[in-house]
């Protein structure tokens, strides 16, 4: 009943109420036939394009129309006294029987309906994942040999260059309507930790980062050589760096947590934008250049809850050393990684090897005496320090579901007295406070 109701709404959107479409349009597949009966005796039959559809009179009150080629034509039937008995538009599409058989073999556990509606072919039914919805749509479009336009997802790698995310490309077929519905929309959460670690620590501990396996599938991040007292899982790297508590050795730059619907993209930037002016024919224009910690990601849930993930993290900063001071144009230090891999629910991976080298020069001297020409050189000392750091990116992907606001607990402050703390008496939350918390959650954290 629900499917018929949705089909009725869909037909209404296309401007075809069901009675009107049944009375004015005959949908045929190539080679299909339809019988028409009349109360009056059939006299003359006119068809505008016999190459698309033709007819044959069976007896005085019946005739059969059949499709020849794909296209549209008009059928008019007159009685013996030249009265118009019917006027119908005949739409001949591909025969859908073979397509339905192919779909039933390829997807035996999915109930898919393929219907001709005017000049459109409509897919309807329920599918488990977004990927299967896209795959079925593409398969039917190719089998029908429909013209299509392709929409691609591009990530900018520089001002003039970009890269396509192939598995996110989508085709839109002309005359094919995708009315398939995903039973449960899958959402992917990516928990990212971006850390900068001094290379001296990595060399002293003998750490090598596990990145991507040779077959293109992502594995759990791991240390190839063990560390005493430390478990080398990918999710423990952030804890290990935080435990050092020394920014000169290692520090956590960012720990974003991003969720995205399967088949969609997401991005974020923690940083800023610098205005850069450049000259054009009619004057100057301003272009804003982003810097900071950024992330682009695209995710698609496959069968068996496998997750295909494309990820592009980037860490950039303004480099005043190599900027053009004359034209006031800054330069940027950029470290960027980009990969596409397949993971299971809850698996992690580590990307390492993004090295950076900085040389720092320091001058120490005795005041006043060190500034004396020639003689002051004896009281000055210069030193050069080379600092090598490695950018480490840890990512964990998981399938998540939204939760009700009633299941979210927010922190709150409860004032207690010294007496209650001494005897360990817990103060209960008043109904007014609990109601206020629920109102905050139900409105997304805002309260009038």
Instruction: Check residue 63 and give its pLDDT.
Output: 92
Q: Pinpoint the residues of the chain covered by CATH 2.60.40.1380.
A: 24-93
* pLDDT surpasses 60 at 14: no
pLDDT at 161 over 60: yes
Pairwise CA distance, residues 209 & 227, whole Å? 13
Residue 7 in this model has a pLDDT that exceeds 50: no
- Amino acid 239: pLDDT: 65
Percent of the chain with pLDDT over 90: 13
Q: How confident is the model at residue 173 (pLDDT cuts 50, 70, 90)?
A: very high
pTM: 0.61
pLDDT band at 442 (very low <50, low <70, confident <90, very high): low
* Segment 274-302 mean pLDDT: 83
Whole-number average pLDDT of the chain = 76
pLDDT band for position 318 (50/70/90)?
confident
Per-residue pLDDT, averaged over 102-110, amounts to: 90
> Which whole number is the average pLDDT over 425-436?
60
Q: What is the pLDDT of residue 227?
A: 37
More confident call, 23 vs 152: 152
The CATH architecture assigned to 24-93 reads Sandwich (2.60)
pLDDT of 230: 44
Least confident stretch, 55-69, 147-161, 170-184, 265-279: 147-161
């Amino acid at each position: 009943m629900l499917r018929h109701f949705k089909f009725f709404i869909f037909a209404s959107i296309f401007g075809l109420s069901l009675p009107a479409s049944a009375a004015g349009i005959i949908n045929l597949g190539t080679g299909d036939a339809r019988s028409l009966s009349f109360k009056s005796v059939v006299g003359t039959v006119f068809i505008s394009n016999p190459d698309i559809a033709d007819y044959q009179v069976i007896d005085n009150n019946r005739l059969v129309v059949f499709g020849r080629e794909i296209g549209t034509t008009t059928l008019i039937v007159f009685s013996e006294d030249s009265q118009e008995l019917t006027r119908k538009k005949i739409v001949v599409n591909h025969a859908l029987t073979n397509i339905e058989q192919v779909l039933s073999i390829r997807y035996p556990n999915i109930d898919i309906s393929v219907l001709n509606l005017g000049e459109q072919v409509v897919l309807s039914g329920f599918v488990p994942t977004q990927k299967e919805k896209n795959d079925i749509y593409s398969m039917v479009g190719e089998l029908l040999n429909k013209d299509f336009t392709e929409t691609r997802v591009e990530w900018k790698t520089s001002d003039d260059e970009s890269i396509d995310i192939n598995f996110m490309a989508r085709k839109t077929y002309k005359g094919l309507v995708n009315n398939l519905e995903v039973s449960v929309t899958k959402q992917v959460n990516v928990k990212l930790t971006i850390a900068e670690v001094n290379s001296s620590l990595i060399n002293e501990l003998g750490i090598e980062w596990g990145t991507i396996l040779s077959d293109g599938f992502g594995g759990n991040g791991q240390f190839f050589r063990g560390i005493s007292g430390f478990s080398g899982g990918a999710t423990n790297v952030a804890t290990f760096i935080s435990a050092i508590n020394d920014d000169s050795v290692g520090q956590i730059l960012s720990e974003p947590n991003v969720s995205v619907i399967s088949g969609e993209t997401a991005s974020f930037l923690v940083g800023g934008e610098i205005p850069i002016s450049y000259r054009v024919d009619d004057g100057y224009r301003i272009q804003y250049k982003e810097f900071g910690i950024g992330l682009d990601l695209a995710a698609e849930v496959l069968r068996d809850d496998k997750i295909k993930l494309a990820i592009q993290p980037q860490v950039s900063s303004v480099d005043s050393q190599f900027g053009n001071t004359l034209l006031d144009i800054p330069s940027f230090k950029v470290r960027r990684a980009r990969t596409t891999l397949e993971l299971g629910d809850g698996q992690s991976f580590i990307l390492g090897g993004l090295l950076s080298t900085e040389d720092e020069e320091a001058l120490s001297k005795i005041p006043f005496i060190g500034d004396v020409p020639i003689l002051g050189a004896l009281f000055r000392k210069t030193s050069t320090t080379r600092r090598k750091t490695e950018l480490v990116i840890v990512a964990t992907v998981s399938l998540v579901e939204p939760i009700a606001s009633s299941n979210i607990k927010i922190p709150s402050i409860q004032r207690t007295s010294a007496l209650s703390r001494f005897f360990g008496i817990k103060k209960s939350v008043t109904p007014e406070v609990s109601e206020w918390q629920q109102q905050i959650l139900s409105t997304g954290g805002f309260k009038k």
